[in-house]
Each structure stands twice: as structure tokens, then as C-alpha cells.
Amino acid sequence: MSLHGDYDDQNIFAKIIRGEAPCVKLFEDDVAIAFMDIFPQAKGHCLVVPKEPARNLLELSEDAAAEAMKRVKALAAAVEKALQPDGVTVVQFNGAPAGQTVFHIHIHVIPQWEGQALASHGGGKQADMDELNALADKIKAAL
Ligand code: 5GP
């Protein structure tokens, strides 16, 4: 079943959590890390990644889910303050049929502006690193 299975600790977010792969980090504490999505659906698209080794929300502990949501709210508020979008989408995909592509639980925070369509999920092109760092600096300043 795609929603349950062995956790693969070689997935890219596990490597980022361990510091083995780079990311444009927004914050990190003992339970979660947040960083910029490298194939953003909109400018400022970022991710909250609980550190617990769980594939998806169904496998995440209640405590980690609750802690993650506190950080999602804080990040959404920082994105609002920093980038002044007209809307913010908070979304989370469980299992490949639902659109999940990285099998370590994460929550998307995606700012949106009136009249600007989102790039498709999984279809975004790689961000310009200077622009990504500049957006991250603004979001961090608002945290
Ligand atoms: P999912 O489809 O699993 O919900 O979302 C995975 C997200 O991770 C996608 O939005 C994708 O753009 C992003 N992503 C994939 N690989 C990397 C990476 O190496 N670094 C970062 N920062 N984001 C990634």
C-alpha cells in the first residue's frame, strides 16, 4: 500500500535534516526544519519538515503533527508579513496517487497573488538561487 511502508532514510529531506544535502534554510529546532522549495510553485514557496522519520501524515505521531502545525502557522505569518501575498495555500500530500513525490512528511506553505497562477505541483522549474536566498532573507527577517 502506498500510504504505508518502510521509511527510506536516503530520501532527500532526510539528507537535508542530517545536514548531508544543502537547503536554503528558514529555521530549525529540535522537531522541525523549514526551507525554501527549490522547484517553487510560486515565489516564496517553502516547506516545513518534521524531523520524525515518517513517510506521511498517517504515519506521523500526533505530537509531531501538532508541533509541525505550530511552525506552519508561524511560517505562514512570516510569509504574509515578508511578501504580502493576497493568499497563502497550506497543503500536504500523502502517497504517490495524491501527488506526493518526496516520502518524508512535509507541509507546503505557498504564497499567492491575485491573477498569478501557480506552477503545477511537481512541474515547477528550479529556482534561481540568488532570488531564492533573497526571498529567504525576507521571510527570516519576519519570523
Ligand atoms: P511533494 O510532492 O512530496 O508534496 O513535495 C515535494 C516538494 O519538494 C516539491 O514541491 C519539490 O519541488 C520539492 N523538492 C524536491 N526536491 C527538493 C530538494 O532537493 N530541495 C528542496 N528544497 N526542495 C525539493
Domains and CATH numbers, the chain: 12-142 (3.30.428.10)
Residue 4 falls in the annotated catalytic set: no
Give the confidence band of 38 by pLDDT, cuts at 50, 70, 90: very high
Pocket of ligand 1 (CB under 6 A): 12, 23, 35-39, 93, 99-102, 122, 124
pLDDT surpasses 80 at 28: yes
pLDDT in tens, 57-70: 999 999 999 999 99
Q: For 39, how many CA atoms within 13 A lie in the half-sphere containing its CB?
A: 9
pLDDT at 1: 56
pLDDT at 143: 97
pLDDT in tens, 83-140: 999 999 999 999 999 999 999 999 999 999 999 999 988 877 899 999 999 999 999 9
pLDDT at 6: 93
